[in-house]
Amino acid sequence: MTKVAIAYHSGYGHTAVIAEAVKRGAEGAGAAVSFIKVEQDGKIPDASWADLDGADAIIFGAPTYMGSLSGPFKLFMDATSKAWFTGAWKNKLAGGFTNSLSMSGDKLNSLFQLVVLSAQHGMIWVSQAEGNQSNANDVPSGNVDSVNRIGSYLGVMAQSDNVAPSESPSSGDIKTAELYGARIADAAKRWNK
Ligand SMILES: Cc1cc2nc3c(=O)[nH]c(=O)nc-3n(C[C@H](O)[C@H](O)[C@H](O)COP(=O)(O)O)c2cc1C
């Protein structure tokens, strides 16, 4: 069975909604998912390192804070240097998502950081393939129910208002994340043939 690991941080619960959606998508495509929450101190359970090492694909996710990946996630990134020393993640597929308050909020920088992290590990980055459906369907750009309403192709970008995570991110962002989880699971299946 294809194994996908999702390692994510969420300070206030909004990015966690996106992480859950990625998980649903990957599971829907038949993958077994290790769902790994990065704590405020950057730590994950000891057993989760083995899950990461054993995964066919790893999807990273974190909110954008100050135009950059959140501090706790950066601590986790530093801790992945152990896997770097042994080349444990070489040739795995990689993907990523981020979420912030503004439509831009400089989220692209966060995705770039995830791409570079993946490249340092010798991983193979999988882009986000869904078009901006608000453009395609002639509804206002940024329509909350549209897939990829932000128009991000490097990875998943979501936007959350300062309300409860049950209200925001939007249904379109959640759907985008589900499709991305499925895409990575499918890609990992093909990659491991
Ligand atoms: C310290 C801090 C810095 C932030 N910086 C940005 C930013 O640069 N751009 C942005 O759009 N939102 C920014 N935000 C808003 C968060 O990205 C937004 O509230 C997000 O939904 C939080 O995700 P979480 O609930 O998973 O922590 C910031 C929030 C915090 C707490």
131-140 contact pairs (CB < 8 A, 24+): 133/172, 134/172
Instruction: Say whether 175 sits in a helix, a strand or coil.
Output: helix
Best mutation site among 8, 14, 20, 65 for ligand 1, i.e. most ligand atoms within 8 A of its Cβ?
Answer: 65
What are the DSSP E strand ranges found in the chain? 3-8, 32-37, 57-65, 68-69, 93-100, 124-125, 156-159
pLDDT tens over the chain, length 193 residues: 999 999 999 999 999 999 999 999 999 999 999 999 999 999 999 999 999 999 999 999 999 999 999 999 999 999 999 999 999 999 999 999 999 999 999 999 999 999 999 999 999 999 999 999 987 767 888 899 999 999 999 999 999 999 999 999 999 999 999 999 999 999 999 998 7
Asked if 126 and 57 count as a contact pair (C-beta separation under 8 A), the reply is yes
Asked if 16 and 7 count as a contact pair (C-beta separation under 8 A), the reply is no
72 CA distance to ligand 1 centroid (A)?
Answer: 13
d(CA 32, CA 41): 27
- What are the residue boundaries of the structural domains of the chain, listed by start? 3-191
- Give the residue among 165, 68, 161, 158 at the shortest CA–CA distance from 112: 68
**pLDDT reported for residue 137:** 66
Q: Look at the domain 3-191 and name its fold.
A: Rossmann fold (3.40.50)
Asked if 62 and 102 count as a contact pair (C-beta separation under 8 A), the reply is no
**pLDDT reported for residue 140:** 81
- Give the residue among 70, 95, 102 at the shortest CA–CA distance from 154: 95
d(CA 122, CA 31): 22
Q: Is 159 in the pocket of ligand 1 (CB under 6 A)?
A: no
Asked if 137 and 122 count as a contact pair (C-beta separation under 8 A), the reply is no
Q: Which atom of ligand 1 is the closest one to the Cα of 67?
A: 8
